[in-house]
Amino acid sequence: MPLQSNTGVPLAYLITFRAYGTWLHGDARGSMDRSHNLYGTPRIDPNPKLEDSDATQLRNQPMIFSTLQREAIERAIREVCRHRQYALCAINVRTNHVHAVVSAQSKPEPVMNAFKSYATRELKHLGLITAEDKKIWVRHGSTRYLWKESQVEKAIYYVVYGQGDEPPDLD
């Protein structure tokens, strides 16, 4: 019988967060904002004027991670999971975003914030970001609740093998 959470706590979360400045409002891929951020709601339509406006407001250049930076970010996230006893099911640190499937006995936002904090601290410690890099991450990210074993499996597959613009269909 497939595993399913009946406790009110999801089996895991699919957490995704982007590097600063790499997907602005109005982007041709569509984007999200505070009014367009519920699961299943449409994205903001492409809008070059909005994207240009956002680009002029950036505090620093968009963050594109090198191989060394990606490795440091992954190590930091693994350390968070060891330290806080989260079960990391899958991780993929890309050049402009991070995906992780993680099981934790807390809400996903503090987990995501810990990932960002540890990763930023590690990047600074190793000298892989500079003082000019005022912002490393976007303000929030995506936190999808995974209630069924099949959803966890699909999320893991997506994180490990299925990168693309469209998030996985987890239903």
- Contact by Cβ (8 Å): 149, 102: no
- Contact by Cβ (8 Å): 93, 17: no
Domain shared by 50 and 67, yes or no: no
C-alpha dihedral sign at 138, 140, 54, 93: positive
Domain shared by 35 and 69, yes or no: no
* Chain segment 150-162, per-residue pLDDT in tens: 999 999 999 999 8
The two tokens of residue 98 are: 């991070």
Domain shared by 38 and 107, yes or no: no
Closest alpha carbon to 146 in 170, 168, 124: 170
Domain shared by 49 and 66, yes or no: no
Closest alpha carbon to 87 in 9, 164, 141, 7: 9
Q: CA 105 from chain center: how many Å?
A: 19
pTM, entire model: 0.81
Domain count along the chain: 2
Closest alpha carbon to 43 in 146, 170, 166, 169: 166
* Chain segment 35-88, per-residue pLDDT in tens: 545 555 556 665 556 555 565 666 677 889 999 999 999 999 999 999 999 999
Domain shared by 41 and 92, yes or no: no
Please indicate, yes or no, if residue 171 is contained in any of the structural domains: no
3-class DSSP assignment, residue 93: strand
Domain membership of residue 3 as a residue range: 1-21+62-163
Domain shared by 94 and 147, yes or no: yes
Measured from the Cβ of residue 104, the count of other Cβ atoms closer than 10 Å reads: 21
Domain shared by 38 and 86, yes or no: no
Please indicate, yes or no, if residue 96 is contained in any of the structural domains: yes
Terminus-to-terminus CA distance in the chain, angstroms?
A: 17
Domain shared by 10 and 41, yes or no: no
* Chain segment 93-126, per-residue pLDDT in tens: 999 999 999 999 999 999 999 999 999 999 999 9
Please tell me the number of Cα atoms within 13 Å of 79 on its side-chain side: 15
Domain shared by 30 and 17, yes or no: no
3-class DSSP assignment, residue 26: coil
